[in-house]
Amino acid sequence: MTRLHRTDRQVRQKESGERTDHLSALGNLVEKAFPNPGELFCHGLELLVQQLGADRAVMTRVGDLGFEAFWWATSDGQAPDQSIHNVSESFCPKVLENPTRTLVIRDATLDPRWKNHSGWRKLGIRSYIGAPLRQAGKIIGTLNIQSARPRDFSRAEVAMVNAMANLFSKTLEVETLKQELRMTRDALDLTTAVVEDSALECPQSHLPNLHYLEIWLKANLYLARRRGEAMSVVRWDLPLNRDSAKRLKAIAEALRGEDLLVDMGHDRFLLLLPRTPQDGARILLERIRLRIGEIPMGATLWDPGREPDREDFTAHHAIHRAQEALTLASGGQEFWVMTE
């Protein structure tokens, strides 16, 4: 039986009575031990396109709305087309029907099983390799290789795709572990904040304050960036009195559980709407103005696909843009300032 020994640093901490943050230490170890998943996916997919002479290598995941492509590489930098964006029409669903075998199609036009399939008829995919991506034993998506030309894939090439699918699956599992560690750490931070400082809401409006906002952003923006999900950010000013406080509280209680209405103090308010594009936010803002009156509002999107939001996990730039938009708003309408 292997025995595990304490490190000298752990012994010194124990002797001195110093408290060790084991959760943070574990998170840091996981972060350091594994490569950046984006770089791994990028190089891995580019390698498959190069080595197999394929048009595309695509990673898909299965969600409530079917298949979704979330990472891909194309030959010669070709722009993504419907064969990537409309993967449900491709051969991906067939991979899930028999996940114990890799789906190999060398020429769809010559195979009676595939010559009338939408993968060939609509998307023009003539040769294809599809391997399942697994997480904790569950099929979560596919790795597929596509080409508009026939291809006589060798056993070694099919084995290469399977090996890469296994590597990608393990990487996704690690990313889930890292995410769970972060969420656990953030939840503990929130719990600690509640214990150490019960003033996470403004006493006048009974809405979350800036301290709560800081913790909320820390827990939500990293995951939003990983998913590539934009968030609407809205600012408005409203004199706070007993009636307006009651109306604002009713608005906050009517929001989705993931949304957040913050009292920034001095009659300033901030609304955060995760996974909500501009059109969806506008509909909600119209409803809000029915409750609090036709007041000007400034809005923007925190967009993890664009600078400077990509690395901004405090939403500082987005909040600044929303404030800028508020200064430009007039009448009872909202004004939007977007990233370039």
Q: Where exactly are the structural domains of the chain?
A: 37-173, 199-336
pLDDT for 83 equals 87
pTM: 0.50
pLDDT band at 218 (very low <50, low <70, confident <90, very high): confident
- Closest by alpha carbon to 168, among 39, 66, 55? 39
Across the beta sheet with 138-147, the strand order is 66-74, 56-63, 138-147, 127-135, 103-105
Q: Are 98 and 132 in contact (CB under 8 A)?
A: no
- pLDDT for 15-72, tens place per residue? 555 555 555 565 555 455 566 777 888 889 999 999 999 999 999 988 766 788 888 9
Angle at 142 between CA 138 and CA 146, to 5 degrees: 165
Tokens of 74: 């194309």
- 36 Cβ contact partners less than 8 Å away, ≥ 6 residues apart: none
The residue to which tokens 């909320």 are assigned: 216
Number of helical (H) and strand (E) elements in the chain, helices listed first: 11, 10
Q: Which CATH class is domain 37-173?
A: alpha beta
pLDDT tens sequence across 81-131? 888 888 889 999 999 898 889 999 999 999 999 999 999 999 999 999 999
Structure token digits, residue 161: 């795709």
Q: Does residue 35 or residue 173 have the better pLDDT?
A: 173
Task: Quote the CATH superfamily of domain 199-336.
Answer: Reverse transcriptase/Diguanylate cyclase domain (3.30.70.270)
Helix, strand, coil share (%) of the chain residues, nearest 5: 50, 20, 30
* Percent with pLDDT over 90 in the chain: 48
- Counting every residue written for the chain, the total comes to 340
| Residue 217 in this model has a pLDDT that exceeds 50 | yes
Contact 127, 108 (CB under 8 A): yes
Ramachandran quadrant class, 17 (left: phi over 0; alpha: psi -120 to 50; beta: rest):
left
Nearest-5° angle of CA 76, CA 79, CA 85?
A: 130
Could you read off the pLDDT of 241-284 as tens digits, one per residue?
A: 999 999 999 999 988 888 999 999 999 999 999 988 898 899 89
- Whether the per-residue pLDDT at 7 is higher than 70: the answer is no
Pairing of the two strands 260-265 and 56-63: unpaired
More confident residue, 318 or 62: 318
